[in-house]
Structure formats: C-alpha cells, structure tokens
Amino acid sequence: MNDRLLRTARRQPTDTTPVWLMRQAGRYLPEYRAIRGNIAFLDLCKNPDLAAEVTVQPVTRLGVDAAIIFSDILIPVEAMGIHLELGDKGPHFPNPLRTAADIDKLGVPDPVEGTGFVAEAIRRTRKALNDSVPVIGFAGAPFTLAAYMVEGGGSKSYIVIKRLLFEQPALAHRLFQKLTDTLIPYLKMQVEAGASIVQIFDSWGGELSPYDFERFSLPYLTRMVTELKATGVPVILFGTNMTPHLPLLKRTGADVIGLDWRVNVDEGRRILGPDVATQGNLDPLHLFLPREELDARVKDILGRAGPVGHIFNLGHGILPPSDPDAAKFLVDAVHRHGVALRQGVALR
C-alpha cells in the first residue's frame, strides 16, 4: 500500500507529501457525471457497486494518495428516523426537528442494519483498488448534523439551531448525545470494513463562538476521537472558519487537524504545536489560476508546512466547475515539490 497518508497522520517521515482532495469524487469529473446522470444522489450513495466505482475514479485519474468513500455526512441521520432529501441543491429535511418530541422520536440505529451499504462500498473499493491506497471513512460532527436537522437544511444565520442551544440547552445536549451514540458505531463499522483512517467533518462548528463551541461541540468531538483512536486508526478533524477554535480542536486528541484557507499553514502549526499533524489548505478556487500561479501556491503551502506531518488538501471541497486537468496538475505538483522539500530545497 501507498501508506504516505497514514504515516503522515502519525507524523512519520515519507518520501513526499501525501495529497487528496475533499469531494474528489464528484461533479467536476465527467466519468462521475456519466454515472450520476442515471441515478439520484441518495440512491448512488446506497448502491455499493456504484459508490465504490465513483470512489475509485479520482484515484485512477488524479493519482491521489487516498480514496475517500463516496457517501454523505447525513446518511446516518436518515437511519435515525428523519426523512432526508438530497439533491443538487443540497440537503433538505421536510420535517425538521423543532420539539422535544421530535428529538425523542429519533432512534440510535444499528449501523449495519441502517447503513451497512457504506461498509459494503468500502469493502468493494478496497478490492477494486487492490489496497493500493488507504480508504478514508468519514462522518459529520454532532453539531453540524444537528444544525441541518433543526434548520431543515443549510442556513446563513443558524438562528433556529442557536436558539435551541441558548433557550433549551438540555434538549440540545440530548440531541447531541443521541447523534454521538449513532456516529461512533457508524464510524467503527467503516473501520471494520477496511477504512484505515477516518475524518470527522464539523462543517458548521465555526459558526459557534469559542465559548459555545467548547460547551456544545467539543465534548462530543472528544468522545468520538477517543473512541475511534482506540480502534488503532488515525483521526482527522476538519471544519471551516475554525482558526479561532484551533486550541480547542487540539484538545480533542485528533491526530490531524484540517485547516481551511483562511490561515497560513505555518501559523496553524504554530498554534497547534508539533505533536499534531495538519491537513490543507489551498483555496478551492485557486484551481482556476494559471498553472504557473497554481504551482507557486502549492510551493508556498508546502514550504510553510515543512516535510513531516502535513497532508496536502484543499481548504474545503473541490467545486463542480473545476477542471480535472487542474486537479491532476495540483496532485503532480504536490508530489514533485514534496520530494524537493525533503531534499532540502527551499520552496519559499
């Protein structure tokens, strides 16, 4: 296996910097669109053969150092008993959680019974890749999932979920506890199926103040990280707008902290300290730069990050209009300059 990603997550030396891209299996790839044109998104997530096929596509085309299983962070939420609709415009819950009765009706599903298709997709992905690169399992964080479930979808102000936190904190904690009880077995199922590293997405955690993040998100993230690390796999924790929360994220014990593009990698590493690996953090829109400028951005990030304990990634997911050739150029540039960095070449 190409184990650069796993070694880097454990802050061990590698021959070059590993790279993968959030949402690397998606609409920017024509081969993905060819499959997606014949099937609904949620149905694709639940079809292990097709999910495995689209998971493998970017590994084959781009040469990335890991495959992240094709799924959605809201898959385990649906298994809890709330109706979910997923389309090109994003997730939608027609009947959002608004009362204590709504939350009490949610179940804590058996992961195999409710979401076993994810495990099967991981097994089929490993077989298709012949274990040539690690498979990344993933889940959303309790606060982020709760925000979707309470708001009914995406939000600009997060007023409904924040009112729940501030007006009925005990009820909010009941929801977060139930989500955590669902997510830990869900991720453990992915590990048992062959995921050799997992990522937790707290996509909306940056919408909370540090005080509220520490109160409403940190305890549940810490429990998730602790129980997942006990399985022996490294854990990546990622969220957007999280720079003010980096000291709190470190307290979770995660092996790797993902950085978005709003902070320089060297500053993120200074805040986190030497005992935590980092991941990131090219602005996804930099893929639209001329190749020479894109190359310069890659070199700058690698030079700031150093040769050990850094996984190259975007600061968020790759966007649908992106050119696959630009993504391939990026991956090749990371590998090329990563070798030079280890040979003592100054990249900045």
Which positions make up the binding site for substrate? 23-27, 72, 148, 203, 316
Is residue 255 part of the annotated active site? The answer reads no
What distance in Å separates the CA atoms of residue 192 and residue 122, rounded to the nearest whole number? Answer: 10
Residue 3: how many other CB atoms lie within 10 Å = 17
Q: Residue with structure tokens 């602005």?
A: 283
Which residue among 28, 32, 124, 148 is the active-site one? 148
Which residue among 10, 27, 297, 342 is the active-site one? 27
Comparing C-alpha atoms, which of 155, 108, 1, 153 is closest to residue 65? 1
Q: What tokens does 208 get?
A: 């909370």
Comparing C-alpha atoms, which of 125, 136, 140 is closest to residue 18? 136
For residue 248, give Cα distances in angstroms to 58, 180, 266, 325.
Answer: 33, 18, 18, 37
Is residue 23 part of the annotated active site? The answer reads yes
Residue type, 232: G
The phi, psi pair for 8, rounded to 5°, reads -65, -40
Is residue 148 part of the annotated active site? The answer reads yes
Which letter, b or e, does each residue of 17-39 get, where b requires 16 or more Cβ atoms within 10 Å of its Cβ?
bbbbbbbbbbebbebbeebbeee
Is residue 61 part of the annotated active site? The answer reads no
Which residue among 23, 61, 124, 304 is the active-site one? 23
8 Å CB contact between 166 and 210: no
| 310-314/277-282 β-pairing | parallel
The four Cα atoms 144, 148, 282, 28 give a dihedral, to 10 degrees, of 140
Which residue among 7, 61, 65, 72 is the active-site one? 72
Is residue 163 part of the annotated active site? The answer reads no
Estimate the share of the chain in helix, then strand, then coil, as percent rounded to the nearest 5.
55, 10, 35
8 Å CB contact between 16 and 64: no
Residues with catalytic annotation?
23, 27, 36, 72, 148
